[in-house]
Amino acid sequence: MTTNQNSGRLIIDFAATRLDASDIELLGQPEVGGAILFSRNYENRRQLKELVGEIRAVKSDALICVDQEGGRVQRFKEGFVLLPSLQQIRRYADSNQELRDTLLSSLAWLMCVEVLSTGVDLSFAPVLDLDDSNSKVIGDRSFSPEANLAITLGQLYLDAMHGAGMATTGKHFPGHGAVTGDSHHEQPVDPRSFAEISKTDMRPFVELADKLDALMPAHVVYPEIDSLPAGFSHRWIEDILRKELGYRGVLFSDDLSMEGAASAGGGIDRAKAAIEAGCDLLLVCNDRDMATQVQQWMKNESVPGSDAALRMRARKAWTESEIIADQKFDLATGFIKEIEEIERSASSA
């Protein structure tokens, strides 16, 4: 078991619902700071808690993460409340601001406390990209196509996350919503000027920066600013984000195995570029060979550790009984039933 003031900078994944010998070996390396879980790692709540226990038995201070946004992106389903997407929430109560705000806050709280009750630290949320109907990979994961509304709703969501005891992560700086390409499978390019991006897509990230414990840069190229994707760009991360905007939170790379990262080269090239650009923690998912190569490179090059993973750990523990006893649980689940009924009626009309 390892516990350090500084932790590893690599976030890895696993193939199954239990750790095997190779998982244990890699997780135990000092260069590894934590893990991200996917649907393939989940059967039910009991199994998830056992898996979390296995991870903590190897590395007690590991940062354990998931994407549990709701809608299309919810990794834990059986035994969890099925959450609507951000745009479903907004549409349900768009004409009633008070109802909309209460609904959004209660559902953000519910997302967090259900995750935290299993021992998982962090859901990468919220998506702060603007949806201008171009990007299918963003789409209804976004609060709104309009920056002012995304900022208003984003603030409510972030406050609710902090109230539940979870750190916040804004995705995907400086904005992924204006490109058609899916960076999981290709290299998207956003040809707009910095002036145009800064007055639209960047605004939620900038104006909510003091509530964002972390940011995740996009694997999108903005050629008017830099030839590299934002997550590998010293211009975007060090010059604009750190120096000009003064952001001091944690920076996660998006998954380095994604096709949108391929322009930086092989796995080690991608890791080196992300660190040199200013990323604190590197995600390498769905490619164990790449994760192992990056870990070995970090070891061989004596890449220093970071306190970033420890800064993102859960701030509060919840039990299932505490969740159910909270009035926000009844409020949130009641809203969800109404939204589901509206959606069913609309689809059958």
Q: DSSP code of 37?
A: E
Can 234 be counted among the known catalytic residues?
A: no
61, 159, 162, 184: the catalytic one is 184
Q: 3-state SS string over 229-285?
A: EHHHCHHHHHHHHHHHCCCCCEEECCCCCCHHHHHHCCHHHHHHHHHHHCCCEEECC
How far apart are alpha carbons 265 and 252 in whole angstroms?
19
Do 42 and 75 contact (CB within 8 A), yes or no?
A: yes
Catalytic, 287? Answer: no
Helices 147-164 and 97-116 meet at what angle, rounded to 10? 40
Spatial strand order in the sheet of 169-173: 169-173, 214-217, 250-251
The type of residue at 157 is: Y
Q: CA torsion, points 254, 257, 259, 260, in degrees to nearest 10? A: 20
Q: Given 131, 254, 255, 280, which residue is catalytic?
A: 254
User: Catalytic residue positions?
Assistant: 184, 254
